[in-house]
Structure 1
């Protein structure tokens, strides 16, 4: 997508290099950094991956019109709900918690769906694909992990998790089944094609098991999983931007022109991310607190973040369809599959 080494690191190699030794060392505290450092790492990496998806969906009038649910309807619904939740926050935080819960459950679908997208994309880039049986086996393994993620959320976030403890334990044991089922799908791929599955597809799949092991060890380490997921994602919009930059000009662009374009792209993502992460929430918190009271003011930044998360998850589900010939053409314009 970018280069063999960068692709390997982004798709999960870097997270494996960091997380596997920490797990083997037996550490129970895996967060390692303060809240302030988390905020700035999130601003520099996690928020740009959200903004990169906005660049894709709002980058042209054609995309806005083509994907109206992603560009207009879903944001409008979320904004209306946010306004309602802020109003209700004067009396109760219940509707704020509902939005947090929706975002957290949707996150499980998003993480597992992105891993499958990575596996399919890197297979396509090597000129191969998973057949229906292999696809079903691998995706079944990912859906078991999806169930684990939802159970983990309930187990770690409910005030009294005793009612879901057995579910969490059963699904945790089920992750072994997930590994076996997915591994069998990959084995069938190797038998059919005569060679092992693409390395990047394997790394993407294995990484999710490690990410969830880290979350099971220390729930606060979800922060690092978010960062690893963001890095995994960013290779794709960066490649789309590179391909679009080259295709938009009739004359061949020099390496300097391409580098300048991508530097501007990266700087724009970072500036917007700082505004959205650091400046707008603080300003809005004061405005809302002045208008509706202290509790709605505290809820405002949380609701903004949940809005961005849910909208991003929906947008990704709409935009990234490797089976779509148009998406394949745009994403793989830089290379002819082997």
Structure 2
């Protein structure tokens, strides 16, 4: 999520209805799905699976949850992004700058990723192929902090309690500082690791760089806390974005800076829930605002059947993209399994979808995207 939300609602005629509700779902559900609901489970995971403990049962459980939460969250981004793609990328309903972003993320990025993987396979360059994992980890941190910041902005908009531009800059600076530090930590703690039977390599991080990163995080955290205190201490006079603040803090500090092996297996599910809270509201508003005459399958039945179909298709597409298609290709395509391992296409599909997802989100949730104004805050 980007900085779109606070600015976008100001020019949207439907803002009054959203402002009166003040929540994406409701006060308790917003707390749970935006990040607060992850605190106790993650602490329990740390307790039950201390460092060095066997995490196989936990891994099996998280893979099951992934089919219901993580993978649909990726699929939903494709469903929303490519909906009316021709009109968005080639029509005149969007400004030229936004059309180019749609074309870049929707066409050029997947072509570049496909060319990269094809080159690695043709040249048998497993070292370069493994670097794609590090790129994914780099973008994961960026995605987490941007989404955490976005949740805070969403909550501030819904509460009609906006942040000053200077305060938003400090919140972003702190988010980026935590992001870079988390990526340095990954490279610091891992040298060689396996991802779907392929080795990937990290970069050596000197002590001086790590100390500098922590110093910057400490300084920007102090400034962030000052911003938060100024905003949240006004609770006696106006409704404050408490759930958004929790989402911001949890996304940055608990999900990215606590490097516990067992927690790392569980965190993606909570990140996906945070994303789904926004996406489901967005899609439900699409169904609500769609003229009844345009509902071909569920004419006269209201928004819920179409929304249920959206959820069902997201689950099916997630399973196809993360499991069925790559498993089929790994079984039927002849490649050097001694060199690339036995799950080359599983590796490629998982990396491809993860990286592409970040580019899609960076276009969909921009402040100048009219669909954000219309559907996220439209009901």
Question: If the TM-score is normalised by the length of the shorter chain, which range does it land in?
Answer: 0.7 to 0.9
SS in 1 for 2:57: coil
Q: Does 1:317 align with 2:362?
A: yes
The structure 2 residue matched to 1:4, chosen from 16, 23, 27, is 27
Query: What stretches of structure 1 of length at least 5 have no aligned partner?
Result: none
Deviation at 1:29, TM superposition (A): 6.2
8 Å CA contact 1:151, 1:164 repeated in 2: no
Corresponding residue number in structure 2 for 1:78: 113
Equivalent residues in 2 for 1:70-219, closer than 5 Å: 70-89=105-124, 92-159=125-192, 163-168=205-210, 170-172=212-214, 174-190=216-232, 195=238, 197-208=240-251, 209-214=253-258, 216=259, 218-219=260-261
SS in 2 for 1:127: coil
Q: Aligned partners of 1:129, 1:17: CA distance in 2, in Å?
A: 29
Equivalent residues in 2 for 1:53-64, closer than 5 Å: 53-60=77-84, 61-64=86-89
Corresponding residue number in structure 1 for 2:344: 299
Q: Does 1:48 align with 2:72?
A: yes
State the aligned residue count.
Answer: 329
Corresponding residue number in structure 1 for 2:316: 271
Corresponding residue number in structure 2 for 1:35: 59
8 Å CA contact 1:85, 1:95 repeated in 2: yes
- Structure 1 residues 59-114: Cα deviation after superposition (integer angstroms, max 9, x where no partner): 1132354311121111111111111122233xx31121121111111111111111
Q: Does 1:17 align with 2:36?
A: no
SS in 2 for 1:135: helix
Structure with a larger share of its residues in helix: 1
Corresponding residue number in structure 2 for 1:246: 288
- Structure 1 residues 26-64: Cα deviation after superposition (integer angstroms, max 9, x where no partner): 943685734333322222211111111001111113235
SS in 2 for 1:33: helix
Q: Aligned partners of 2:300, 2:190: CA distance in 1, in Å?
A: 49
Q: Aligned partners of 2:299, 2:31: CA distance in 1, in Å?
A: 27
Distance 1:32 1:174, change over 3 A: farther
Deviation at 1:3, TM superposition (A): 2.7
Q: Aligned partners of 1:211, 1:51: CA distance in 2, in Å?
A: 22
The structure 1 residue matched to 2:326, chosen from 275, 281, 300, is 281
Which range moved further: 296-305 or 238-247?
A: 296-305
Which range moved further: 199-208 or 184-193?
A: 184-193
Corresponding residue number in structure 2 for 1:68: 103
CA RMSD of aligned residues (A): 2.9
Deviation at 1:189, TM superposition (A): 3.2
8 Å CA contact 2:141, 2:183 repeated in 1: yes
Give TM-score scaled by structure 1 length: 0.86
8 Å CA contact 2:145, 2:176 repeated in 1: yes
Distance 1:10 1:280, change over 3 A: same
Distance 1:108 1:32, change over 3 A: same
8 Å CA contact 1:51, 1:273 repeated in 2: yes
- Structure 1 residues 205-257: Cα deviation after superposition (integer angstroms, max 9, x where no partner): 1212122344x2x1352221211111100111111110111111247999964
SS in 2 for 1:128: coil
8 Å CA contact 1:108, 1:150 repeated in 2: yes
Which range moved further: 251-260 or 110-119?
A: 251-260
Distance 1:6 1:196, change over 3 A: closer
Deviation at 1:292, TM superposition (A): 4.5
Deviation at 1:284, TM superposition (A): 1.5
Deviation at 1:151, TM superposition (A): 0.8
8 Å CA contact 1:144, 1:178 repeated in 2: yes
